[in-house]
Amino acid sequence: MTTHYIDITLRPDPEFSHAHLLGALVAKLHRALVHLQADDIGVSFPQHVSAPLPRRTLGPLLRLHGQPAVLEALMALEWLQGMRDHVRLTNLTPAPEEAQHRIVQRRQFKTSAERLRRRRMQRKGETAQQAAAAIPDSVEQRPQLPYVQLRSQSTGQPFCLFIEHGPLLTAAQKGPFNAFGLSREASIPWF
């Protein structure tokens, strides 16, 4: 259960876009969570906007959720090295006891028929024509969720990490968080 939080707010920067800084912040957090093998630290983006483009954004605030000991262990790693000038941190603070809860999860979409075809050609040894016949352009989805642009550590390919803030809940839900601090089961306090 997540009882405490730390807010990390991106400062405006004339040299780097908000999207670039958020991508760097989430990538650094991901590497730190992998290093810790943590499944008990959650994240949320309390200032997210899920409106259609161009207003769709995760906002400048990333909130870390967890127990005091695990959040202190994360911050002891100095994972924010190189970002300190670009962020403002709050101290470790207890979450409001009367806060509602919310599940914050990753959503994946089939956004590129061409990528799916290339993957099918590699997996099944098909020609481009066979893959095109099996995967029509109509499979592509246009998600309306906010996202952060990242680069895969294993392949080097860019990808969008789509984030969905679920409906408000009256009680906390237990479960593990993934290496991005997201979960299909565990909730975080929402305030």
Number of residues in the chain: 191
The mean pLDDT value for 99-123 works out to 82
CATH superfamily, region 4-190: CRISPR-associated endoribonuclease Cas6/Csy4 (3.30.70.2540)
pTM summary value: 0.82
Percent of the chain at pLDDT above 90?
64
Question: Which tokens belong to 15?
Answer: 């040299």
SS3 (DSSP) at 32: helix
Measured in Å, how far apart are the chain's first and last C-alpha atoms? 16
The mean pLDDT value for 41-46 works out to 97
Per-residue pLDDT band for 92 (boundaries 50, 70, 90) equals very high
Domain limits, the chain: 4-190
Instruction: Find out whether the peptide bond into 143 is cis, omega within 30 degrees of 0.
Output: no
Q: Give pLDDT tens digits for 119-162.
A: 778 888 888 888 888 877 766 656 678 889 898 877 777 888 99
* Residue 178: alpha-carbon gap to chain centroid: 10
Show which residues are catalytic: 30
In the prediction, which pLDDT does 130 show? 84
Q: Number of C-alpha atoms within 13 angstroms, CB side, residue 70? A: 21
Mean per-residue pLDDT of the chain:
89
* CA pair distance 60, 62, nearest whole angstrom: 7
